[in-house]
Amino acid sequence: MFVTITMTMGWITYSKKPHPIEKTLKVLGPSDASYVKMQDNFNAQYKILHPDIEIQYISFPWNNIWRKLEFLIVANIPPDVSNIEQPYLPQFVHMGRVEALDEWMKNDPEFDASSLYKRCLDEGNWNNEQYALPYVFSPVCLWYNKTLFDREQVAYPTRDWNLDDLVSAAEKFTRDLDGDGIPDQYGFFTNNNHWNRYSPFIWMRGGELFSADWKRCTFDDPNVMTSFQWLADLALKTKASPKPIYLSSITSVNLMLSGRLAMITDTRYAMANFYLEKNKDKIKNFVFDVSELPHDKTRASCFVVSELMIPSTTAPERKKMAWDYLKFVVGKEGQEVVAKEDQGLATRIETAERMVAHPGRMPEHDRAFIDSVEYSRYCYWPFPADEQWFATRSDLSSVWNGQLQAEPVCRKGAAGMTKAIEDFSRFHPEKELPVHTEFVPFDKRSGPALADARDETQR
Amino acid sequence: MKKYEESRWSGGRFREALAGYGFISGNFLGFLVFTSIPIVISLYLAFTEYHVLTPPKWVGMRNFKEILWCHYEDVPVMEKVKTADGNEFEQIKMKTVTNPDGTTAQAAETVRKLRPNDYNFWHYSYNTVFLMMGIPIGMALSLSMALIMNQKIRGITFWRTIFFLPSVTAGVAVYLLWTWIYNPEQGLLNLFLHHTLGYLGLFPEDHAKWPQWLGSANLAKPSLILMGLWIGAGGYNMILYLAALQGVDPQLYEAAMIDGATSWQKFVHVTWPLISPTTFFIVVMGIIGGFQGGFMQAYVMTEGGPQGSTTTLSYYIFNNAFTWFNMGKAAAIAWFLFLVVFVMTILNWRFGGKKVNY
Amino acid sequence: MTSEADRILAESRRTISLARRTGAVVYGLALTVGVVLVLRAELAEKFDMALLFSTDTRGAVYSLSYSLDKGEHWTRLEEKSPGSGVFALTPPPDYRDPIPVRVSPEIPDSVLDTELASGRLLRPKDAPADEKKARSELKDILLRPVRGIPCPVTFSIDGGLTWRGTAKEAIEQRIYTFTHAPEAGLEILLRARPASSNAVLGVWAAVLILTVPVGLAIAWVVLRLGYFTDGFSIATLVFFTVFGLTMIVPFIWMISTAFKTQQEATLFKIQWLPWPIRWANFADVFRTVQFGRFYINSVFLASYATIGLMFTSSLAAYSFARLDFPGRDKLFLAYLGTMMIPGAVTSIPVFVLMCKIGWVDSYKAIIVPGLFSAYGTFMLRQFFMTLPRDLEDAAKIDGCSLFGIFVRIILPLSKPAIATLTIFTFMGSWGDFMWPLIILNDTKKMPLPVGIQFFAASEYPDPNVLMAATMMMIVPVIIVFILGQRYFVEGIQLGAVKG
């Protein structure tokens, strides 16, 4: 009897309601609430334009989503469209799992590549082929507490500041408030454990983290080593920043919200924190604003971007459906959904320009994000060096705390990562690592392969 | 009667053979499809590079060379420096070189060394063998438990049930439970040690100095061994030993006692040889299982451990095959593992078989 | 002479039985008093809490604050008006946060009025319109956490730093605070005071009085069962108890954590008794992940696998044991050889096969490979070979077919072996982790071990919820084992000793 019960249960659970596969679009993405919400809005909008197609969002927790994608592709049940985060895109490209989009873009009259920010498009361009289209991004800018600036009577940051201006202004804020000899209020802090915080400061000085062909790690470049040391000295030598160890239980954003930190660097997603329910009363007490990052020898900033790609093993007839969806997301209607979410910026130029301004709501100079796009880029690291990258990162935390100097750590990290890349190449000699290239508009393309080095004018 | 034994293929025998084949057909089909053919296929895959989506590409011994062989390499010389808070950091030794145009620059000192191709492989093999060190300890524990439990008391079943509970429940849930027990801040083990040893002053008060168990590269493997002992001490091995002990003829003990033997001598000369078949069985099973084991612990508890210290070969194979889809390399490692197990079993049979004589 | 010997014998028996009895009593009392000692600290503080709060406003009050370099530190506060139980923190310059206020547990209405009027005490945003109701609700909010329900206290500052401890520590360190939800823009700190010593002593007396009968009961049980007779010394019993406790304690810890609140589960000290008991942990498990679905999947897969396996294995084992056909022994040797193959070797090609035929991520892929097991065939064959042939020969003479013999004679005779194999296969399939992990990807199809690991690794549950989930997985296994342990034990011996 027990047997029959289980068997009937099995048949019940086994039988599925049939849905027409040809009219269902499978999209893979993270299961974070913000992504799910955005996807719901996409679905609603898409239904208006294509009423017969149903979108199925396969959501998966963030930490394992790339394994899931790989598994689905290998097992021959790939999603039609997938989110992809940058460090993994070159890896999937190397394995040949990503559909090249150049042909689709060229042959589709409705798609206009120039409507998207070129810098964002570049991020999906490898080996002179476009592999992914960006749909939401956010550069890093300088957030500052206007009220505190007023109180201490320091001039607001502008885009013409250089790094010395930044340090001297920040030092004016550092002071001891309750008389115990230890400062409670600081001027500037950047969370150096995150690559998108320290990479702008390195690029500004002209340093690069990896060689253009990804064969070598250039952490031991003098510019890079000086930048890391400068970042550490912000807390150790100058009085501008607190030591990171003190912030282990309170984040920089929260410190800023308590009115005790004047400037931080962060992406536009930080705004979500400011407008959280629980912080509403805190921000009544101060005014915050945004400015572009200061510059050194050149201008540089880092951005985060989310992209969509099409797995190459999807059936050809479904690829058309997938391409239509991709077109929609980076087109006018999809980008309006993104802009309405108000977390990241829309990658479509016209939408971003039109919808970024929110008069009467902080930050006032929201445009700083858009202005900084032209010199922003993503921070890549070659995927064979993943393990070593994380090991170097944990070594670097000793640098931020003043236990070690930046130079030996950087040299060790460079050697380790270069060796990891060499080992990888030795056992995969048939295929080179993919090279990051730039998107070139179709009408400007002349013959075969273009230069693969990064454009010198970006420096 | 002769005509019934004339031909092997006479009626009765033929029917019997047919029935024989019929009966095992289902099982045999499974055996073919899921065991024997895959063995051959995986041997083939071990010599290829295969990523499932594209056809396998023959590369010969490359996979095996990758895991087993070594090469010469210019390795930078490392030196140890002390950090500001007393820790040590290994950094690269630099030396000044003069460029052709007279300027000086800093470059790393290198030395030509023989380096394994896949250092991880050897590290993980070491982990696997280390974790197998728990087998003799577990055996000794089970044996002592069995010796003590070999008494006729009412309620011995109660104790046996209690001792057997950990083995019966062994699985992912128990590993999750132990992950929480090994939590350095809030887990049972550290809190208990702090409570008991702390009173005697043997345990540091500072939470930061508490042993990190699964989070420390040195302690992770012993923690896994300890957990394995807890799970296995009162388990299958003990039951086996109990059965074996109950098979020992009490007259032998009496004879030994008459000869004036102490309990230790009784154990060594009477008990141990008589239960040696069981010991042998446990050792063989332990070796076979030990080489293939450690997967669940690595996956559920430590994700491979702090700096790869709890990754065993079977977890490495899993990662190669089902995370990175390097089927060729995974098959190569799996076959290497199989050969090792095979050789160990044969060796054990040869030499251990002698111990079974009594 | 005999009466003399009898007398001596009787006397010695009395002494032995006296020694036995004392030993048993000592053992029983040691157990119960030990348990009470271990729980002493917890019980003390839980009873303390219940008798704690009063309107006595003596004693200094401190507030916790945080500074970047000093970390946490305490500042002393001044009482606003003596005896009011309301304290205020003098705000340092430039802070714009609302002023934190401390309110005594039984605040008089007049004081509440004054504070509300002055704007220092803020009404909660969603207070009801009825003034009386609003006021009683406000008091209730202030008072409820305190009223006799012992619970750990949590502080939260600046949305980042939290301090957790028990009420006892709060008292010892003079922390009399409890943060109320900061939507109202205020921190309410409540006072606590150590309980009067008489009350505590009374409670302890009650606890100890209870332990004595329990200890004596254990002693009686121990004696009845025949412990402390010759050959079973007290040392053995103590050893058994210690070892048994080591085996059991993690499970007790698991069950106790499964009922705790999140704060209690993450305390930096051992808590054996959860209070308040949070039954919602189990509901949380079902809410965050489809735990019920995992159960059903496991049962479904395990039963299919077991039935299928029994079917094929018993047929094959009978064939190997009784029937003679060419290649039988060689084939059986091959079967034995596969038992040595690591699972990793075969799982790779089988996975590829599943990918190619499209069985990936389906139940079929788990059940069908599980239908074959060399171990099962081996074990049953060994068992069948020990059965006497007479019945079968008689049946053959009667004209029974081979299959009939199998069904009518062999199967009924081998009930114990089949039962054992069924249990082992079921348990093995229930706990099977690696293969479903490899082949499944849809969370709806996951069986219990894979599902629970997925839950632990992707939802980052609090320890109490995680323990609730593990408890739901382990406890049924324990129950099944206790009911059917005879088969387990016999099966192990059957399978191994004969091999």
How do residues C402-444 score in pLDDT, each as one tens digit? Answer: 777 777 777 787 887 888 888 888 888 888 898 998 888 888 8
- Full domain range(s) for residue B263: 121-355
> What distance in Å separates the CA atoms of residue C396 and residue C394, rounded to the nearest whole number?
5
Q: Work out the average pLDDT over C452-479.
A: 88
Is there a single domain that holds both residue B96 and residue B174? no
Give the Cα separation of A419 and A427 in Å (integer): 13
Q: Calculate how close chain B gets to C56, using CA atoms only, in Å.
A: 34
> Which positions of chain A have pLDDT values less than 70?
1-20, 177-182, 184, 245-251, 254, 277-283, 446-459
Q: For A252, which residue in chain C has the nearest alpha carbon?
A: C160
Instruction: Name every chain C residue with its beta carbon within 8 A of the beta carbon of B42.
Output: 345-346, 348-349
Q: Specify the pLDDT at position A17.
A: 47
Examine residue B161 and state whether it is found in any structural domain, yes or no.
Answer: yes
Percentage of chain C beyond pLDDT 70 is 60
**How many residues are recorded in chain C?**
499
Nearest CA of chain B to the CA of A408: how many Å? 6
Q: Which of A364-368, C141-145, C208-212, C402-406 has the lowest mean pLDDT?
A: C141-145
The alpha-carbon gap from A74 to the nearest alpha carbon of chain B, in Å, equals: 6
- Enter the pTM of the model: 0.79
Residue B131 lies in a domain: yes
Contact assessment for residue A91 and residue B323, using Cβ atoms and an 8 Å cutoff: no
* pLDDT score at B129: 92
Answer with the one of B81, B116, B151 that is the final residue of a domain: B116
What percent of chain C has pLDDT above 90? Answer: 5
Nearest to A72 among C70, C441, C459 (CB): C441
Q: What angle do CA B135, B136, B140 make, to 5 degrees?
A: 120
Say whether pLDDT at C98 is over 60: no
CB contact under 8 A, B108 and A398: no
- pLDDT tens column, A125-182: 898 889 999 999 989 999 998 888 888 888 999 888 888 989 999 988 888 765 556 6
Of C415 and C136, the one with more pLDDT: C415
**Same domain, yes or no: B267 and B150:** yes
Contact A254 C182 (CB under 8 A): no
Instruction: Tell which wins on pLDDT, B195 or C118.
Output: B195
- C438 and B322 in contact by Cβ < 8 A? yes
Among candidate residues C311, C300, C308, the one with its CA nearest the CA of residue C368: C308
pLDDT < 70 stretches in chain B: 1-12, 84-86, 152-154, 206-208, 352-358
Domain locations along chain A: 21-138+303-376, 141-302+397-423
Q: Which residues of B touch A411 (CB under 8 A)?
A: 91-92, 94, 108
Measure the CA–CA gap between B19 and A244, rounded to whole angstroms.
Answer: 77
From A435's Cα to the closest Cα of chain B, the distance in A is: 21
Distance (Å) from the alpha carbon of C76 to chain B's nearest alpha carbon: 26
Q: Which positions in chain C have a beta carbon within 8 angstroms of at least one beta carbon in chain A?
A: 66-71, 92-98, 158-161, 182-183, 185, 296-297, 299-300, 303-304, 307, 354-356, 358, 360-361, 363, 441, 457-459
Q: Which contiguous run of DSSP H or E holds residue C232?
A: none
Interface check for A259 against chain B (CB to CB < 8 A): the answer is no
**Distance in Å from the first CA to the final CA of chain A:** 76
| Residues C278/C283/C284/C288 CA torsion (nearest 10 deg) | 170
Chain A: closest CA distance from residue B44 (Å): 19
In C38-165, DSSP assigns E strands to 62-67, 71-76, 78-79, 87-88, 101-102, 153-157, 161-165
Query: Are B53 and A74 in contact (CB < 8 Å)?
Result: yes
Please report residues of A whose CB lies closer than 8 A to that of C307: 3
Task: Give pLDDT, residue C222.
Answer: 74
The pLDDT value recorded for residue C215 is 81
Token readout for A259 is 């009115």
Facing residue for C340 by CB, picked from B27, B333, B341: B341
Per-residue burial over A233-245, b if 16 or more Cβ lie within 10 Å, else e, is ebbeebbbbbbbe
Is B106 within the bounds of a domain?
Answer: yes
Q: What is the CATH number of domain A21-138+303-376?
A: 3.40.190.10
Q: Which of the residue ranges B98-107, C354-363, C383-392 has the most confident prediction, judged by mean pLDDT?
A: C354-363
Helix C291-322 vs helix C328-338: crossing angle, to nearest 10: 150
Q: Subunits with at least 3 CB pairs below 8 A relative to chain B?
A: A, C
* In the predicted structure, residue C23 carries a pLDDT above the cut 70: yes
Across the interface, which of C247, C268, C343 has its CB nearest the CB of B166? C247
C307 close contact with B: CB closer than 8 A: no
Give the one of C69, C161, C296 whose C-beta lies nearest to A182's C-beta: C69
Q: Look at C431 and B244 and tell me if their CB atoms are within 8 Å.
A: no
Minimum-distance CB partner of A67 among B51, B85, B323:
B323
Alpha carbons C448 and C301: distance in angstroms, whole number: 10
- Residues linked to residue A261 through DSSP beta bridges, in sequence order: A186
Mean pLDDT of C203-231: 73
**A250 CB near a chain B CB, below 8 Å?**
no
| Residues B201, B101 share a domain | no
Contacts of B89 in chain A (CB under 8 A): 395, 398, 403-404, 408-409
Residue B329 covered by a domain: yes
Query: Do residues B129 and B261 share a domain?
Result: yes
Residue type, C451: G
pLDDT at C192 over 50: no
Mean pLDDT rounded to a whole number for chain A? 82
B211 within domain boundaries: yes
**C193 band by pLDDT with thresholds 50, 70 and 90:** very low
Q: Does C405 touch chain B (CB under 8 A)?
A: no
* Residue B82 Cα distances to A228, A395, B91, C168, angstroms: 20, 14, 10, 43
- Both B108 and B129 in a single domain? no
User: Around A248, how many Cα atoms within 13 Å sit in the side-chain half-sphere?
Assistant: 8
- Which of the four pLDDT bands, split at 50, 70 and 90, describes residue C279? confident
Higher pLDDT pick, C453 / C84:
C453
In a domain, B55, yes or no: no
* The CATH fold of domain A141-302+397-423: D-Maltodextrin-Binding Protein; domain 2 (3.40.190)
Q: Which domains does chain C have, with CATH numbers?
A: 1-50+197-227 (no CATH), 62-189 (no CATH), 233-277 (no CATH), 285-497 (1.10.3720.10)
Look at residue B45 and tell me if it is in a domain: no
> Which pLDDT belongs to residue C87?
44
Residue C96: in which H helix or E strand, if any?
none
Tell if the CB–CB gap between A178 and C161 is shorter than 8 Å. Answer: no
Closest residue in C to B17 (Cα–Cα): C325
Task: Tell me which of B116, B148, B175 is where a domain ends.
Answer: B116
Domain count, chain B: 3
Nearest-Cα residue of chain C relative to residue B247: C497
Residue B57 lies in a domain: no
Residues B209 and B188 in one domain: yes
Mean pLDDT value across chain C? 68
Residue type, A97: R
Contacts of B87 in chain A (CB under 8 A): 398, 403
Same domain? B174 vs B79: no
Residues B143-182 have pLDDT tens digits of 988 888 887 666 777 888 889 899 888 889 999 999 999 9
A226-255 pLDDT, tens per residue?
A: 999 999 888 888 888 887 766 654 567 767
ipTM value, please give it: 0.85
What is the pLDDT confidence band of residue C97, given thresholds at 50, 70 and 90? very low
Cβ-based neighbours of B76, under 8 Å, separated by 6 or more: A415, B92, B93, B108, B109, B110
Phi and psi torsions of C108, nearest 5°: -70, 150
Note the pLDDT of residue C338. Answer: 81
Judging contacts by C-beta atoms under 8 Å, the chain B residues touching residue A409 are 89, 91
Which residues of C fall within a CB distance of 8 Å from A177?
92-94
**How far apart are the CA of A147 and the nearest CA of chain C, in angstroms?**
11
Residues B182 and B75 in one domain: no
- Which of A17, A56, A59, A71 should one mutate to test binding to chain C, selecting the residue with the greatest count of C CBs within 10 A? A71
Q: Between A and C, how many CB-CB pairs are < 8 A?
A: 96
Asked if A21-138+303-376 and A141-302+397-423 have one fold, the answer is: yes
Residues B156, B284: one domain?
Answer: yes
